[in-house]
Homo-oligomer: A and B are copies of this chain.
Amino acid sequence: MKRRLRSAPDAVGAVPVRTGTGSYPVLVGLGLLERIPELLCEYAPGHRYALISDDHVASLYAESVVASCTDAGLDAGLFTFPQGEASKTRKQWSILTDALLDAGIRRDGVVVALGGGVTGDLGGFVAATYLRGIPVVQVPTSLVAMIDASVGGKTAVDVRAGKNLVGAFHPPRVVVADPLAIGTLPVHERAQGLAEAIKHGAILDSRYFDDLSEAADGLLAGDARATRAAVLRSVELKARVVTEDEHEEGFRQILNFGHTIGHAIEAASSYSVGHGMAIAAGMILEARLGERLGVTETGTSERLSRALSRFGMGAVPRLDVGIDEILGYMGVDKKARQGRARFVFLRSVGSVRGDDGWSSEAPPAEVSRVVEEALRGGA
């Protein structure tokens, strides 16, 4: 199995994503960062290019990409912001927008968002709203951005009331994913990204799910070919979903598997638990909830836990918060007959239950019990 993920060829994979107004390719290939100038000319011809990066990725990659664009005769400039989720704000969006305006970028300009998920969301939202929308090229450099965030056209910033509540759907002209960039990530960040890959397997492809556990060591070590194969397969699966339901009106909800409880854990920990770790716990607990409700095959939660343990994410993290706080983040009130939270339930690994829509509510008492047991005992 490990062999299967490693045996993929070095050629560039191109996965088409269809949208309401056209289609764009997600390119996955080793060394693509070196080919940015030619890819921009091919997929997003423009008069000027505004590269948006955080200050960390700027020194790692963006500065040299801008230099290579300039060498190739393109008019390219770099616009940076402070690294971290704290920059994903309306304020930073305003600052970047004003900087592009001051630089005289016009409607024939193109934004290139080069970095992790924050950069893709923030840079994408700048492009979505700049002069009522100019093209954006997504160049994800983190594993979670390659595997998940850069595909699907979602852009957003965080506001007081929550994450990603202000934004736009703004499909990119092209997504350029170079797994060689993963080499510079710390191991725990690679693990975070792989949680989303495991989710893709869990909801849509049990063979991919098994392949990922088999290849765990190589993936965690940042092996380029194993990473390339995983990114490509995850992108294929996600492209299938967002092509079918671009604006999350139905089927796209399945991508929220693990996220209802996961987001609550993340928020209740004040984001000290990382996204991947929180989603991993969310998947295990939502599968367990599904088993309790008789909609998910017995043993599914255990199988998820086993696979995730290969990536160091097999246990629900101990949290110093009360059950009520976590339930509160889900909008679940134990005394209510029905909570407002919706859950995506697996039928088994590789298959989502879609009998009556792609997500459903659950009895608050059961939700509460599953979360409480996990918090008390670890899982």
Contacts and interface: CB of A to CB of B under 8 A. Distances in A.
Interface of A: 20-21, 90, 94, 97-98, 101-102, 128-133, 154-156, 159-162, 164-169, 247
Contact of A90 (B94, B102, B165, B169): B94
A161 B129 contact: no
Q: What DSSP secondary structure best describes chain A's contact surface?
A: mixed
29 contacts: A20-B21, A90-B90, A90-B94, A97-B159, A97-B166, A98-B159, A98-B160, A98-B161, A101-B159, A101-B160, A101-B162, A101-B165, A128-B168, A129-B166, A129-B167, A130-B165, A130-B166, A131-B165, A131-B166, A132-B154, A132-B155, A132-B156, A132-B164, A132-B168, A132-B169, A132-B247, A133-B168, A133-B169, A168-B168
Nearest to A107: B248
A31 to B, nearest CB: 33
A328 to B, nearest CB: 15
Contacts of A162: 101
Nearest to A167: B132
A90 B98 CA distance: 12
A133 B21 CA distance: 16
Closest 10 CB pairs of A and B: A101-B161, A132-B167, A20-B21, A129-B166, A132-B169, A90-B94, A132-B168, A129-B168, A97-B166, A131-B165
Nearest to A340: B106
A168 B132 CA distance: 4
A91 B372 CA distance: 42
With most chain B CB atoms within 10 A of its CB, the pick from A98, A129, A160, A161 is A129
Contacts of A247: 132-133
Contacts of A160: 98, 101
A63 B296 CA distance: 50
A173 to B, nearest CB: 14
A159 B155 CA distance: 21
A160 B102 CA distance: 10
A298 to B, nearest CB: 34
A264 B329 CA distance: 51
A118 to B, nearest CB: 16
A75 B97 CA distance: 36
A98 B128 CA distance: 20
Contacts of A21: 20-21
A236 to B, nearest CB: 24
Contacts of A90: 90, 94
Given A129-B168, A133-B169, 9 more contacts: A97-B159, A98-B159, A101-B159, A101-B162, A102-B161, A129-B166, A131-B165, A132-B156, A133-B168
